[in-house]
Amino acid sequence: MIEIDNLTIRFAAGQRPVVRNISFGVEKGAAFGLVGESGCGKSTVLRAISGLNPNYQGSIELDGDILDRRRDRPFFRRVQMVFQDPYGSLHPRKTIRSQLKEPLRNQGLATGSMDVDALLRSVGLDPSLSYRFPHQLSGGQRQRVAIARALVLNPAVLLLDEPTSALDVSVQAEILNLLDDLRRERGLTYLLVSHDLAVVSHMCSRVAIMEAGEIVEQVNIERLRKGEVEHPYSQRLLRASRTYGKQREVVA
């Protein structure tokens, strides 16, 4: 569904590259994870794919077509993005109902026949919330709205940038379950960026581990669970993420 070939990304033309020569592919209907620590370039990759940063070399292929540097309208019917902080990504002074219609307006489509209530129910929200403003919702509810908005145009691909990092673990569990269900029901393809290896291994079947702008290793989740990672950085990351849930000796 997505093929990234030899992608190098800069923040501006002529500047030092922040992501260097990365390649990976995501199958249709699969969930692929990009993990790494802050500053490794994982979100930058998502932003390049979504068209937010056109300063890249190499090719980004969607369903067999190589994308133009400038994304056209139909692109956004196929690919949508969910950001980390639903506070920042929702308009503070528009009602939920009006924001959910925005993708249709952007595409020049009629909004009259849109069933906002059904959409809200599909992400587990009560339709009566649709006349509220974002500040009248909890963090988890806001993230559900952001997911609903990404689904309005019936895209094939969702780009998820740390979708649960701003949430409590109990709410994170609800959102991860929701994303999982939606992927199955709608046959969506996910590209999930996270710093949390546990979240990625819960959601994805394959993961690329990034360090300092490069993919150091790609591995299937089963192998990751068995600890079969080769690159020293992947081993370190896996060890740190595991330590974290287990024996106290390692920390002390």
Partner 1 sequence: MSSSLIDVSNLEIAFGGGSVRAVRGVSFSLGQEKLGIVGESGSGKSTVGRAIMRLLPPTAMVSAERMSFRDVDLLKVDEREMMTIRGRRIGLILQDPKYSLNPVMRIGEQIAETYRLHYPKASAKQAHGQTLEMLDAVKIREVERVARLYPHEISGGMGQRVMIAMMLIAEPEVLIADEPTSALDVTVRLEILALLDELVARRNLGLIFISHDLNLVRNFCDRVLIMYAGRVVEVLEARDLDKARHPYTQGLLASLPSIDDPPARLPILKRDPSWLDGKILERTR
Contact residues for partner 1 (CB under 8 A)? Answer: 37-38, 139, 168-174, 176-177, 180, 195-199, 201-202, 224-225, 236-238, 240-246, 248, 250-252
| Type of residue found at 123 | V
- Least Å distance, CB 240 to partner 1, is 4
Q: Is the dihedral of CA 234, 236, 238, 241 positive or negative?
A: negative
The CA distance from 100 to 97, in Å, is: 5
Instruction: Kindly tell me which of 111 and 241 has the beta carbon lying closer to partner 1.
Output: 241
* Minimum gap (Å) between residue 224 Cβ and partner 1: 7
Task: Tell me whether residue 45 or residue 199 sits nearer to partner 1 (CB atom).
Answer: 199
What are the structure tokens assigned to 120, written together? 């809200």
Q: How far apart are CA 25 and CA 19, in angstroms?
A: 16
Q: CB-wise, 101 or 206, nearer to partner 1?
A: 206
Beta carbon of residue 128, minimum distance to partner 1 (angstroms, whole number)? 20
Nearer to partner 1, 78 or 186 (CB): 186
Q: Look at residues 20, 146, 25 and name the one whose alpha carbon lies nearest to residue 87.
A: 146
* Chain centroid offset of residue 136 CA: 25
Q: Minimum Å distance from CB 246 to partner 1?
A: 8
Closer by beta carbon to partner 1, 66 or else 250: 250
In DSSP terms, 32 is beta-bridged to 191, 206
Provide the 8-state DSSP code for 54: -
Residue 215 C-beta: closest distance to partner 1, Å: 17
Cβ atoms of 208 and 23 closer than 8 Å: no
